[in-house]
Amino acid sequence: MDAWDPGTYLSYSDERGRPFFDLVARVSARWPGTVVDLGCGPGNLTLTLAERWLTARIQGVDSSEAMIRAARGTDWVRFAVGGIEEWAAGTDRADVVVANASLQWVPGHLELLGALKERVAEGGWLAFQVLGNFDEPSHAIRRELAALPEYAAHVNGVAVPSSHDPRDYHRVLASDGWRVDAWETTYLHELTGVDPVFAWVSGTGARPTPSMIAAASGGVSGRQLVTSGFPIGQG
């Protein structure tokens, strides 16, 4: 089972896209020759990079085959299945490297930053954004359930994202003279529809968790377990 659902993911494209555009807006590269988007998902945001840098060769990379199948390349934009660690271990350099909401899925990604910096061409840019919402109920409840004996075997191997304090990223990035612009932002999304929080998480790498928990709980809905910590707003 692929952990990612491109259709559900794209149904929240506006909400998921805002941090991407806030991030890329801080990149002042004018005429990059090569731009790489690590963890590009279904490629909708990668295509906007081609609209900004008209002469650049754009490469989108994602570990999910389902996401890459959903991506639509052009003459200037190419997509490929691959992991971030694999790309970081290569030798080719890029003028701009973007990793939007993807590094948190890579274990030990703080230590990986050194390798990623080596893949950036002289005078180039490394721009990444990681989520910092792992104490929210949708994540905390899944962690608590996964720790219980009756569920542990069913969620073993499911990817668990994590991130660090912005100061940690600044320390690592600035350690060898790089100029660093680091910030933290809170986005409040007003989600609507039936079980909107469940719909949100079911399009991402959290997708397998509710189904595995449901299988282990004798029919108790993974939807109920994962979203029980969120109150329904009064409109």
> Angle CA(49)–CA(54)–CA(58) in degrees, nearest 5?
50
Whole-angstrom distance, CA of residue 153 vs CA of residue 130: 28
Q: What is the pLDDT along the chain (235 residues), one digit of tens a residue?
A: 445 455 554 555 666 788 999 999 999 999 999 999 999 999 999 999 999 999 999 999 999 999 999 999 999 999 999 999 999 999 999 999 999 999 999 999 999 999 999 999 999 999 999 987 656 666 666 767 667 777 777 666 666 778 899 999 999 999 888 999 999 988 776 766 766 666 656 655 555 566 566 666 555 555 555 555 555 454 3
* Domains of the chain in sequence order: 6-227 (3.40.50.150)
- The torsion of the CA quartet 126, 116, 102, 98, rounded to 10 degrees, works out to 30
- Rg (the chain; Cα; Å): 19
Q: How far lies 144's CA from each of 13, 140, 147, 225, in Å?
A: 29, 6, 5, 11
Question: Looking only at Cα atoms, what is the longest distance across the chain?
Answer: 57
Q: Which two tokens stand for residue 51?
A: 């609209």
pTM over 0.85: no
